[in-house]
């Protein structure tokens, strides 16, 4: 019965639980444990997203630099004849 009460409390506070979080409750974890796990996972995900954004920007900058010499700029002054 204690597990059901903790599960209900977690759902009231957090609204949703994933499979890992349900297992955590069943094994005796608390809502605070789940909040700490979520915070930790969120920080890790943010770091991964920041790294991916940085790598994408660097790749786009490299590609733009490579294309700069190959593609004529339609807004530049024409070369003298």
Instruction: State the pLDDT confidence band at 71, using cuts at 50, 70 and 90.
Output: low
Q: What is the dihedral of CA 12, 14, 16, 19, to 10 degrees?
A: -110
What one-character-per-residue DSSP string does 9-69 give? HHHHHHS---HHHHHHHHTT--HHHHHHHHHHHHHHHHHHHHHHHHHHHHHHHHHHHHHHT
Q: Where are the domains of the chain?
A: 6-65
Overall pTM > 0.85: no
Convert the pLDDT of each residue in 9-39 to its tens digit.
999 998 999 898 999 999 998 899 999 988 8
> What are the tokens at 15?
């609204």
Q: Looking at the predicted structure, is the pLDDT value of residue 61 above 90?
A: no
pLDDT the model gives residue 81: 63
Asked if 10 contacts 25 with a C-beta cutoff of 8 angstroms, the reply is yes
Q: Looking at the predicted structure, is the pLDDT value of residue 69 above 70?
A: no
Q: Which of 27-36, 46-55, 70-79 has the lowest mean pLDDT?
A: 70-79
């Amino acid at each position: 019965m204690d597990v059901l009460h903790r599960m209900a409390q977690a759902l009231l506070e957090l609204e949703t639980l994933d499979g890992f979080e349900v297992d955590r409750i069943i094994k005796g974890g608390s809502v605070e444990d789940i909040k700490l796990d979520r915070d930790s996972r969120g920080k890790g995900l943010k770091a991964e997203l920041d790294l991916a954004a940085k790598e994408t920007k660097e790749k786009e900058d490299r590609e733009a630099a490579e294309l700069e010499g190959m593609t004529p700029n339609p807004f530049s002054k024409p070369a003298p004849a």
